[in-house]
């Protein structure tokens, strides 16, 4: 039998083609849907992950923007507080300077007043001492010139007159 005389079922090419067609049928019927389902599930999971990543990125951008805005607000607030502290410090320093100056002026005035009082007291003490010395000297001179009986009366009048003049 020649190649042309062989029956179709005896040709190996027919059986290879039949096996291939059966393989493709089984593959398309049972395996391909599972592969397609797995790929679809994987695709869906990747899509969900991408959507979730996109949402997270948007949230992160919103949070970042919020933090940048809060940071800018805090910088402005910090600048305002710092400027206010500088103004307060300057006010306190000038007030302290004024208070110190006023206190020094008061102390100086008090010292000058005390000095004036002490000078007046010293003058009064010196006058009193001078009066006492003058009276004692006058009494001694009168006693020496007049004697003891007449000198008491004259001394008393002289003392009264001196006290009236000096006080």
What would the pLDDT profile of 16-25 be if each residue is shown by its tens digit? 999 999 999 9
Q: Is 134 exposed, middle or buried (0-12, 13-18, 19+ CB in 10 A)?
A: middle
Residue 1: the pLDDT is 45
Domain ranges of the chain: 9-166
pTM across the whole model: 0.41
Residue 163: the pLDDT is 74
Q: Are 139 and 115 in contact (CB under 8 A)?
A: no
Q: Are 139 and 151 in contact (CB under 8 A)?
A: yes
Smallest Cα–Cα separation from 158: which of 127, 128, 137, 144?
Answer: 137
Coil, strand, or helix at residue 7?
coil
Smallest Cα–Cα separation from 140: which of 158, 122, 126, 161?
Answer: 158
Greatest CA span in the chain, whole angstroms? 202
Residues of the chain with pLDDT under 70: 1-5, 146-152, 154-155, 166-167
The pLDDT tens digits for 16-62 are 999 999 999 999 999 999 999 999 999 999 999 999 999 999 999 99
Token pair 């001492």: residue: 129
Residue 148: the pLDDT is 58
The tokens describing 44, both together, are 């869906």
């Amino acid at each position: 039998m020649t190649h042309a005389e062989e029956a179709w079922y005896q040709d190996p090419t027919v059986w290879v083609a039949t096996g291939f067609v059966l393989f493709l049928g089984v593959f398309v019927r049972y395996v391909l849907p599972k592969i397609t389902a797995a790929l679809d599930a994987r695709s869906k999971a990747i899509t969900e992950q991408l959507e979730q990543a996109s949402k997270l990125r948007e949230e992160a951008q919103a949070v970042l923007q919020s933090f940048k805005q809060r940071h800018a607000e805090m910088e402005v607030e910090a600048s305002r507080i710092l400027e206010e502290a500088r103004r307060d410090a300057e006010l306190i320093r000038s007030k302290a300077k004024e208070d110190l100056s006023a206190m020094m002026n008061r102390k100086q005035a008090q010292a000058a007043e005390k000095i004036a009082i002490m000078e007046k007291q010293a003058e009064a003490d010196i006058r009193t001492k001078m009066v006492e010395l003058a009276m004692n000297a006058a009494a001694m001179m009168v006693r020496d010139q007049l004697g003891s009986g007449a000198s008491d009366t004259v001394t008393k009048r002289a003392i009264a007159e001196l006290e009236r003049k000096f006080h």
